[in-house]
Amino acid sequence: MGNTVSENKNLCRCGCGREIELLNYRGQLKKYVKGHNVKNFVKHGPEHPSWRGGRTYDKNGYVMIWVSNVNHPRIRGNGQYVLEHILVMEKHLGRHLTKDERVHHINEDKKDNRIENLQLMTDVEHKSFHTLKMWKEGKYNNRQNNSRKHLQEPWVPPGPSLPGTGTSGES
């Protein structure tokens, strides 16, 4: 064997040069340090056999684009995807967005990522915009009334009632 270092040791086949035990706990020949074979055999991005162009959707319906820059500040999840509307705005501005900047879809279509449909806002402006919109549509008041329904009922102290108070219970 060309990779053999000694009788009981072997070199990792990924090329890192680390010695490994010749046999695993099952008595099978070990070829790699744990995890080293993954980077040699599992392809990511355009090299993966199931590659479909790098365009997908998140659970909220936003378009996500695969990026080759793993250091992009807005990468989502455990992959290399960034929301398309963020990439479009960053390209238009010529810089990355700051932490407090949000990209608003003017026509509220999450799949319409043309620059004409995108508006840059701060986080506070974006939240205020949607809160005001909900309030104008009557959705905000309904939500507030439902969440405060328990405050409209009279408060009754917990525990047994006191004798002579006129409430049912022990006398």
Average pLDDT, the chain: 78
Give the Cα-Cα-Cα angle 107, 112, 116 (nearest 5 degrees): 70
Which tokens is 162 given? 């006191």
Give the integer Cα–Cα distance in Å for 110 and 87. Answer: 14
Higher pLDDT, 162 or 121: 121
Q: Which fold has domain 47-149?
A: Homing Intron 3 (I-Ppo) Encoded Endonuclease; Chain A (3.90.75)
If you write DSSP's letter for every residue of 66-125 in order, what string do you get? E-S-TT-TT-BTTTTEEEHHHHHHHHHHTSPPPTTEEEEETT--TT---GGGEEEEEHHH
Q: Residue 9: name the closest of 108, 17, 19, 121 by CA.
A: 19
Q: Where are the domains of the chain?
A: 9-41, 47-149
Residue 106 predicted with pLDDT over 80: yes
Percent of the chain residues past pLDDT 70, beyond the cut? 70
Lowest mean pLDDT among 44-48, 80-84, 135-139: 44-48
Residue 99 predicted with pLDDT over 60: yes
In this prediction, residues 53-82 reach a mean pLDDT of: 86
pLDDT at residue 4, rounded to an integer:
46
pLDDT at residue 170, rounded to an integer:
46
